Structure 1
Amino acid sequence: MKKKVSLITTGGTIASKTIENGLLSSGALTGDELAALCQLPDDIEIRVINLLQLPSMHIDFGKMDYIRKAIEKELLDETVSGIVVTHGTDSLEETAYFLDLTINDPRPIVITGSQRSPHDVGTDVYSNLRNSIFVATDTILSDVGVVVVFNERIYSARYVKKVHASNLQGFESFGYGYLGIIDNDVVSVYQKPIIHETHQLIKEIPRVEIIKCYSGATGMFIDAATQHQVEGIVLEGVGRGQAAPSMVDSIQNALNKGMKIVVTTSAEEGKVYPAYSYLGSAHDLLERGVILGEDYDSKKARIKLAVLLASYEDIDPEYFKK
């Protein structure tokens, strides 16, 4: 019996063409053109949905939700084994985690892209796409949530991160590792996430901004976010989740106006924890009403805070402990 995979294309380098001066036109190729070059076995049937043809930095929350709806439409077909979404790499990790938080279906959903264009020497387009299709047909990835397939490795959407601007090994999951590999078309999984949470969107996805903390930082950007009535802020703190003391008054003012604020750490590994007691420390921020962002990086925390704000009337800080 044939395995059926829905291939949803959204653009990016994986679908790019070379134009004048050697520059790339992102998202110029269709999914049909890509799939035809993957040399798939006869027992896999591909249904192509050419959804978007955009560079990934043009994909905002509205377009992420558009992709979500397209996936859910495909999943209405019970004969579909899994979904593959092709996406530009620059914001791939953000879209992957958004979909992970908002789609409740046990079948594999795979996000992939490429660091090189289809016509480059040594391109990773066809290996990444082919491997993703094999992952999407394998029941070993059931109930795992959204995964990212890149350079023969399978990553959880929760922890994957783009770590190199151009190298073929463009993605990693610092401190957690990858879930498995694809070797000669065989999918092997070595670990799976213990928790997979999903949330149902009931409101429009709000604006959430990321503001970095650093030595001598002021509250200028927090004040600007407050004036623009942004609904949430992610503070990318340092170490255990500290902010500069000159930011605290602005943080307090934003909290007083009802804004939700999450503090994360800029460190690659480790989590936010109230270990110190001084102005701007994680303990001080927690006492004021800031949510501790555990081991989330700032981009993933932004996605999660936005999804929670769109899913609930009020946010339980415990959601960030998952």
Structure 2
Amino acid sequence: MTAKPQVLLIDAGGTIASVPDGRGVLVGRAGSAGLAAALPPVPYTLVERQAYAGLSEDMGFADALRIIDLAATAEGDTGLTGTVVAHGTDTMEDVAFLTDLFHGGAKPVVFTGAQRAPGAPGSDGMANLLDALAVAADPASRGIGSVIVFGGRILPAPHALKLDSSGPEAFGPHSAAIGRVDDRGMQLELLPRRRPAFARVQPDATVAVASLALGSTGKLIDLLVDGGARGIVVQGFGRGNVPAAVLFAMQRAKAAGVLLGIATHCIGGGTAPSYASGAALADLGAVPAGLLSARKLRLLLAVALGDGRDAAEAGRLAQGWLAPPPLTR
């Protein structure tokens, strides 16, 4: 008889584990959601652990690292095929990407969750969880890194974004999907081109995101520098363009030893020094997000600045990570 695949199931709170309060408003559960017991019979052996209880908007780096460290135990356990993390959707893309930065192993780390709470009409948590388990248990998923499985799609963590605040197909873009899960199981079409993992460090929590809008000045940048930020990601316009006043503030920040990054508010297209302000930022040494979101570039810079690295060294590390990984045959 063939042994059932063993999967580590991490309960990390979120809507999938939430409960209504006296007003019917969703709140975090105090203890374990008992997700394994709530599932129908599955062809896997589940090892369930709780890493976080609550809603994901309240999470910090310590909570994320607890999930990451627990998931890392699966890599060294020969009995486990992979990990599933049941997580809140609000910061799922952040924690999945942070996991990817530290995860260099072959076993998949699969994030999923719910948009509709347990017991609500059309609750999607158990269907997503079953899909995620199918990915984590399938030998073909080795090497995919950290992914989000939601609404039947498999999305690599660096490119997965929450695009819908309430609908069941919360994550996209669809063009980033590397496969699907359906009634035939996992259908993997691509393997992501993975970059080398960072050594496990304490990310620098002072890295901040400054989002621009019409009429933005450099005041926010100056305030962040005065407040002790060691890194600032500016979410600019278009291809990573900024007004002159913001450029001058970023130059002041660079002179103060702050690591700078530039991202775009656009979902597609990424950043490039195609216009004067973008070219000036490239000359300044601002780390370009490329196709990463501002939130993900912030995490990359926070990890690069970890262990007290200075801005120059951290900038080189971040730029090196962003370089296109080699093609594999």
Question: Normalised by the size of structure 2, how large is the TM-score?
Answer: 0.91
Q: CA RMSD in A?
A: 1.7
Q: 1:310 aligns with which of 285, 306, 309?
A: 306
Q: 2:321 aligns with which of 307, 314, 319?
A: 319
Equivalenced residues, count: 316
User: How do 1:106-185 residues align onto structure 2 when only pairs under 5 Å count?
Assistant: 106-173=106-173, 176-184=175-183
Q: 1:295 aligns with which of 288, 291, 297?
A: 291
- In the other structure, the counterpart of 1:86 is 86
- In the other structure, the counterpart of 1:285 is 281
Separation of aligned partners in 1, 2:41 and 2:204: 38
Q: Greater CA deviation, 185-194 or 258-267?
A: 185-194
Q: Which runs of 4+ in 1 moved over 6 A?
A: none
1:14 and 2:16 correspond: yes
Query: Is 1:111–1:148's contact at 8 Å kept on the other side of the alignment?
Result: yes
Query: Is 1:216–1:246's contact at 8 Å kept on the other side of the alignment?
Result: no
Separation of aligned partners in 1, 2:31 and 2:237: 42
* Equivalent position SS for 2:38: coil
Where structure 1 has 5 or more consecutive residues not aligned to the other structure, the ranges are none
Q: Greater CA deviation, 137-146 or 199-208?
A: 199-208
Q: CA deviation at 1:306?
A: 0.9
- In the other structure, the counterpart of 1:26 is 28
- In the other structure, the counterpart of 1:186 is 185
User: How do 1:65-84 residues align onto structure 2 when only pairs under 5 Å count?
Assistant: 65-84=65-84
Query: Is 2:232–2:260's contact at 8 Å kept on the other side of the alignment?
Result: yes
Separation of aligned partners in 2, 1:90 and 1:181: 22
Question: Normalised by the size of structure 1, how large is the TM-score?
Answer: 0.93
Separation of aligned partners in 2, 1:31 and 1:192: 32
1:60 and 2:60 correspond: yes
Query: Is 2:203–2:303's contact at 8 Å kept on the other side of the alignment?
Result: no
Q: CA deviation at 1:139?
A: 1.6
Query: Is 1:144–1:196's contact at 8 Å kept on the other side of the alignment?
Result: no
Corresponding letter in the other structure for 2:125: V
- In the other structure, the counterpart of 2:37 is 36
* Equivalent position SS for 2:241: coil
Where structure 2 has 5 or more consecutive residues not aligned to the other structure, the ranges are 325-329
Q: CA deviation at 1:28?
A: 4.8
Q: CA deviation at 1:145?
A: 0.7
| Distance change (3 Å), C-alpha of 1:203 and 1:15 | closer
- Measured against aligned partners, the alpha-carbon deviations of 1:180-233 in whole angstroms (never above 9, x if no partner) come to 111115100112212333111345534211101222211111111101111111
- Measured against aligned partners, the alpha-carbon deviations of 1:1-31 in whole angstroms (never above 9, x if no partner) come to 1211111111110001122121112235624
Q: Greater CA deviation, 130-139 or 67-76?
A: 67-76
- In the other structure, the counterpart of 1:101 is 101
Separation of aligned partners in 1, 2:28 and 2:138: 30
Q: CA deviation at 1:35?
A: 1.6
Q: CA deviation at 1:37?
A: 2.4
Query: Is 2:96–2:111's contact at 8 Å kept on the other side of the alignment?
Result: yes
| Distance change (3 Å), C-alpha of 1:62 and 1:284 | same
Separation of aligned partners in 2, 1:111 and 1:203: 21
Corresponding letter in the other structure for 1:21: R
